[in-house]
Amino acid sequence: MTTAVPPRRRLDPDERREQILQAAERLFAERPYAQVSTTRIAQEAGVARGLLNHYFGDKRALYLEVVRRASLLPEFGDAPLPRGSLEERVEVAVTWFLGSITRQRASYLTVRAAEGVGEDAETRAILDQAQDIAAGRVLEMVGGDPGDRAARAVVRAYGELARGAIREWSREENLSRPQAHLLLSRALLTIVRDVLPGL
């Protein structure tokens, strides 16, 4: 059975690169690294296989770029940091975090990165950087000091709970999204109100 190849159209280099990345994100989210071929990625993207090498070098470099994009959460934007009560700021932080989670991103944050090219230094560095950036953003949102190393470490540890909640919601379907939101909001509120002041 022949798989239909999407029709090709002329795109500028940035659009073509994005098209390849989106196809790779879909495939790597569904299957482990070893089960995704460059031929299949090219078919999914509707491009010649040689373009993958042109834009990314090889499959591993493309995979690392997918992990980087999936693990680096979006900027909070130019909007002012949330104001109001601690409870309101925590709600904004958790809503921002969960609002950034797509099916592909959930896959990388919870499972696929570890199944990809293994626990190599580059993959670990990407995930560690993403966790540290997210911890700093969350601290800013809830009125904490992102420069406080201990506070940042506590929020990175909270990130492990967040990844577990995402997995239980998006992959295992043991939690609904509102239940995951409740868990993460209450846990973050407790950390900010009761744990950080005692450090």
Residues 76 and 64 in one domain: no
Quick one: what percent of the chain has pLDDT higher than 90?
Answer: 41
Residue 97 placed within a domain: yes
- Mean pLDDT taken over the chain: 83
Residue listed under structure tokens 């078919």: 43
What is the token pair recorded at 106?
């959930």
Q: Is residue 54 part of a domain?
A: yes
End position of a domain, from candidates 68, 83, 114? 68
Residue the block writes with tokens 């809830």: 142
pLDDT at 8: 53
With a cut of 90, say whether residue 56 has pLDDT above it.
Answer: yes
- 113 with 178, same domain? yes
My answer on whether 61 and 90 are in the same domain is no
The pLDDT-based confidence of 119 (bands split at 50, 70, 90) is low
Contact 109, 70 (CB under 8 A): yes
Residues 158 and 193 in one domain: yes
Q: Does residue 8 sit within a domain?
A: no
Judge whether 87 and 144 are in contact, CB under 8 Å: no
Do 51 and 135 belong together in one domain?
A: no
Tally of structural domains, the chain: 2
- Residues 51 and 79 grouped into a single domain: no
Q: What integer pLDDT is reported at residue 127 of this predicted model?
A: 79
Say if residue 109 is in the same domain as residue 181. Answer: yes
Mean pLDDT to the nearest integer, 148-153: 96
pLDDT at residue 186 tops 70: yes
Average pLDDT over residues 153-178: 90
User: Taking the CB of residue 142, how many other CB atoms lie within 10 A of it?
Assistant: 23
Do the beta carbons of residue 106 and residue 54 sit within 8 Å? no
Examine residue 179 and state whether it is found in any structural domain, yes or no.
Answer: yes
* CA distances in angstroms from 65 to 8, 17, 28, 153, 163, listed in the order given: 23, 11, 12, 26, 20
Give yes or no: residues 51 and 97 share one domain.
no
Residue ranges making up the domain that contains 27? 13-68
Domain boundary among 47, 68, 89: 68
Residue 10 confidence (pLDDT) above 80? no
CATH number reported for the structural domain that contains residue 165 in this entry? 1.10.357
Helices (H), the chain: 13-30, 38-45, 49-56, 59-71, 86-99, 103-107, 113-115, 121-141, 149-166, 177-190
Q: Shortest CA distance to 113 belongs to which of 72, 70, 155?
A: 70
- Cβ distance 131 to 172 under 8 Å? no
Q: Does residue 118 or residue 82 have the better pLDDT?
A: 82
CA dihedral 60, 35, 171, 91 (to 10 degrees): 10
Task: Please indicate, yes or no, whether residues 106 and 192 belong to a single structural domain of this protein.
Answer: yes
Please indicate, yes or no, whether residues 53 and 144 belong to a single structural domain of this protein: no
CA 43 to chain centre: 25
Instruction: Look at residue 1 and tell me if it is in a domain.
Output: no
pLDDT at 75: 59
pLDDT band at 58 (very low <50, low <70, confident <90, very high): very high
pTM (two decimals): 0.74
